[in-house]
Amino acid sequence: MTGTARFVRPSTHTRALTAEPRLQAIEAMIDALCELVRPADTMCAGCIWDTIVKPLATPLVGWGRGYEPKQARDPRRADEPRFRILTVSEIRAESKDRPAPISETEAWMRTTEAWDAVTGPWLARLEAADPANGHGICRHRRNR
């Protein structure tokens, strides 16, 4: 099936995209991928989900929402130990609590219901656009 299939987006999907505009950019990317895939291309819906969509969506909706981004650590030097032993106080100092939601919509955006409302239509579109040519994401390669 080609990427031209249209899916009705429920009001909860619209609510989430309105509450978190960065989700709209992910949706636009999914729309473009689904529209541009050709029958001979390899566009595995699962590969796109696992490597692109899920990592982008996780901090924006569902249980992963509301946490501060992790700080980047410096690369480990060759002379440093591979593992380090932490005390309980060091572990507590490194872990950050999520701030309380400031609104009913923010509280809802942190739920499984919101995750499903956003990602359900996305997964359906990706699966419908998948030309079933195997795993991966690439254009059709002609034999040379």
Structural domain includes residue 102: no
Instruction: Express each pLDDT in 20-66 by its tens digit.
Output: 999 999 999 999 988 888 887 778 888 899 999 999 999 999 999 99
Angle, alpha carbons 29-26-5 (nearest 5°): 55
Provide the pLDDT for residue 1. 43
Residue 28 domain-assigned (yes or no): yes
Give a yes or no: residue 79 inside a domain.
no
Asked, for residue 91, whether it belongs to a domain, the answer is no
Determine, yes or no, domain membership for 40. Answer: yes
Q: How far apart are CA 26 and CA 30, in angstroms?
A: 6
Residue among 44, 8, 13 at smallest CA distance from 116: 13
130, part of any domain: yes
- Res. 140 pLDDT band, cuts 50 70 90: low
Counting the structural domains of the chain, the total is 1
pTM: 0.73
Q: How many residues would you count in the chain?
A: 144
- Give the Cα separation of 75 and 40 in Å (integer): 42
Task: Give the domain range for residue 51.
Answer: 10-66+107-137
The residue among 80 and 6 whose pLDDT is bigger is 80
3-state DSSP of 45-85: HHHHHHHHHHHHHCCCCHHHCCCCCCCCCCCCCCCCCCCCC
- Tens of pLDDT, residue by residue over 56-114, are 999 999 999 998 887 787 887 878 787 878 888 887 777 777 889 999 999 999 999 99
Which residue is listed with tokens 């899916």?
7
In sign, the C-alpha dihedral spanning 52, 57, 59, 64 is: negative
